[in-house]
Amino acid sequence: MGKLKLSHYKIHLSRYGLKADRPFCAAVLADLHNRVYGMDVDRVADAVRSCGCDLVLSAGDLVVMKAGHFATDKALELVRMLAADYPVYTANGNHETRMKRLFPEEYDKYTQKLASLGAVNLVNESIQTRICSVPFNIAGLELERAYFHGSVRKVLDTKSVTDRVGERQADAFNILLAHHPRYFDAYAGWGADLTLSGHLHGGIVRLPVIGGVISPDPCLFPHYDHGRYTKGRSSMIVSAGLGTHTINLRINNPAELVLIDFE
């Protein structure tokens, strides 16, 4: 039986001039890849319920799409279990984007199923909502493959983020679901109060002091491999993710469920 690591991060809303009726919690999914490393998806759903969460956010790659094949059944099973009790907001990672490009009809079926389960899939769009009286602007950023692959990657700037998801909301707490953490400068420049990312699987192998060893790109010793990073008032939390795909291995790097405690 595998281990599921629960990682808590605190957000003090008073820093942003906001006040909640009570403390609340958001669960963050990333890099499920249609399976949880070493366990079934119901372990994740049970962990979300046990933590008393109020909403669920996905930073991408719920599905797996590789070698001309895709799988979505476990991703949809997890969404079904969670959306029955919580608002669920999802964004596309590179695997969903690849599925959309290679199997557009199946991708449409997948997104239609997400909607039928009650999840809101944000693809270069944003939605405004309130949680415990706090106004939120939740934006889902999708990037094409050139931002993920190749020795010379495209440069993402603030304008490119705005062109995709629109302007930040000045009177709300702005959450950006952005799968690849590499572009934190652009996310902070856009005005994200909190960016939620994954993609790097925690570096797959984690070493004491050094941190993550390799990213799926591939890249040795990725900078934004795991944890919390800050630029001014903007924070980015990078999940080590829940699953694996091509490299079916995690060393010193258990599956991780991120929990954001808003106080």
Whether 1 maps to a domain, the answer reads: no
Q: What is the DSSP string of 247-258?
A: S---BS--EEEE
Report how far apart, in Å, the C-alpha atoms of 67 and of each of 61, 70, 93, 156, 246 are. Answer: 16, 8, 17, 27, 10
pLDDT grade for 184, boundaries at 50, 70 and 90: very high
Instruction: Inform me whether the pLDDT recorded for 250 exceeds 90.
Output: no
Question: How confident is the model at residue 84, as a pLDDT?
Answer: 96
The pLDDT score that the predictor gives to residue 1 is 52
Domain for residue 157, yes or no?
yes
What is the per-residue pLDDT across 57-85, written as a single tens digit (0 to 9) for each? 999 999 999 888 899 999 999 999 999 99
Residue 166 lies in a domain: yes
Q: Which domain range does residue 204 map to?
A: 8-262
Residue 263: is its pLDDT beyond 70?
yes
> Would you state the pLDDT for residue 188?
98
> Amino acid letter at 9?
Y
Q: What is the mean pLDDT of the chain?
A: 92
Per-residue pLDDT at 153 = 67
Integer angstrom CA distances of residue 70 from 8, 57, 97, 201:
31, 22, 12, 19
Is 113 domain-assigned? Answer: yes
Given this model, what pLDDT does residue 54 score?
97
Tally of domains in the chain? 1
107 in a domain, yes or no? yes
Domain containing 133 — which CATH number? 3.60.21.10
- Cα 115 to chain center, whole Å? 18
pLDDT tens, position by position, 83-131:
999 999 999 999 999 999 999 999 999 999 999 999 999 999 999 999 9
33-37, 183-187, 203-207: which has the minimum mean pLDDT? 203-207
Buried b (16+ CB within 10 A) or exposed e, 235-257: bbbbbbbbbbbeeeebeebbbbb
In whole angstroms, give the CA distance from residue 96 to residue 111.
Answer: 10
Assess if residue 2 is contained within a domain: no
Calpha distance 255→178 (Å, rounded)? 19
Q: Establish if 244 belongs to a structural domain.
A: yes
> In terms of C-beta density within 10 A (0-12 exposed, 13-18 middle, 19 or more buried), how is residue 159 classed?
exposed
